[in-house]
Amino acid sequence: MPELPEAETIVRGLRGNVVGRRISSTTVIRPDVLDQTPGQFVRAIKGLPISGVSRRGKNVIIELGPSAVLKVNLGMTGGLFPLGRGERNSGVTHPAVRFRFVGGGQLVYNDARRFGRLRVFDQQGWSDWSDRLGPEPLSRDFSDRQFAESLRASRTPIRNWLLDQRRVAGVGNIYASEALFRARVDPRRSARSLSTDEAGALRRAVTEVLQEAVDARGTTIRDYKDADGAAGSFGPRLHVYGREAKPCRACGTAIVRVVFGNRSAFLCPACQPWPEMTARQPA
Ligand SMILES: [Zn+2]
């Protein structure tokens, strides 16, 4: 599933291809990817120019003129493919929505499994929606102080806390597992059990792992490709995610997969010790 780095990579690839283009018509092939009726959706964006492409959390944001915002949540297998006039792309296997541009060319939303969702907002609706998300982890709003205070109020397991988009925007299961490994925190611990030092280490680990993954153009797991159809290169640098039973790159201990909250988490039991166990060990 695309997380922040994969969405950011898609945004950077799209920007040069679609900003300045004006939507002439839209064809909805798979209405189940819309959060609105196809009629509402098509009418709301008809004739609008694409004025910018950005990101909020894991979502690709296509700014339409001064008045509307198209939010694309890529789900498991969603992708956005800009095509020139008459151009084909082998990545377009399951087109769900086609946005055609004045003067030729189009942007295709492709989604094999159709867990992705598209929604058009007016400006007020967009800022209301965006305000409900947590801070952007690559921005200054994501500070040690804000993070530590926010953790202190929650009994939720820290891995689940990181996945909650209202707490921090853009983190999914891959980068939650990786950040917790870097910070040496067991993913099952409650958020409020983290010490101030651990909270600071985790805040920095979240920022660092996401920034490094953005620089590597994301992690390619199964279906994810960026807007140019290229694979991300962060995969070989994962320490725990998807590495069950393989040796920890830091200490050689076998990586363990645990399932809670209906999701897998991966950890090194030596590098991320449960605090009570540590306390019981003789000095
Ligand atoms: Zn280890």
Pick the closest to residue 220 from 236, 212, 231 (CA basis). Answer: 231
Q: What distance in angstroms lies between residue 204's CA and the mean position of ligand 1's atoms?
A: 19
- Residue listed under structure tokens 């921090």: 168
In order, the DSSP letters of 64-86 are ETTTEEEEEE-TTTEEEEEE-TT
Residue from 192, 263, 269, 273 carrying the catalytic annotation: 263
**pLDDT confidence of residue 283:** 39
Q: Does residue 259 register a pLDDT over 50?
A: yes
Question: Does the pLDDT at position 154 exceed 90?
Answer: yes
Annotated catalytic residue within 56, 58, 71, 225: 58
Which of the given ranges, 76-85, 230-239, 269-278, has the highest pLDDT on average?
76-85
**Mean per-residue pLDDT over the chain, rounded:** 92
Compute the distance between CA of residue 137 and CA of residue 255 in angstroms, rounded to an integer: 26
Residue 273, helix vs strand vs coil: coil
Ligand 1 centre to CA of 66 (Å) is 51
Instruction: Tell me the average pLDDT across 214-229.
Output: 65
| Closest listed residue to residue 213, CA positions, set 232, 240, 185 | 232
Burial of 192 (0-12, 13-18, 19+ CB in 10 A): middle
pLDDT of residue 90: 86
pLDDT of residue 281: 39
What's the token pair of residue 171? 């983190």
207 Cα: distance to centroid of ligand 1 (angstroms) = 21
Q: What is the DSSP string of 221-235?
A: -TT---TTSPPPS-G
What local confidence, expressed as pLDDT, does residue 42 receive?
97
- Percentage of residues in the chain with pLDDT exceeding 90? 85
Average pLDDT over residues 37-41: 97
* Number of residues in the chain: 283
| Cα 181 to averaged position of ligand 1 atoms, centre (Å) | 8
Closest C-alpha to 202, from 146, 263, 268, 249: 146
- Condensed to tens digits (0 to 9), the pLDDT of residues 187-212 reads 999 999 999 999 999 999 999 999 99
Q: Which tens digits make up the pLDDT trace of 111-128?
A: 999 999 999 999 999 999
Q: Indicate the pairing of strand 106-111 with strand 256-260.
A: unpaired
The predicted model gives 142-158 an average pLDDT of 95
Residues 45-98 pLDDT 10s: 999 999 999 999 999 999 999 889 999 999 988 999 999 999 988 889 999 999
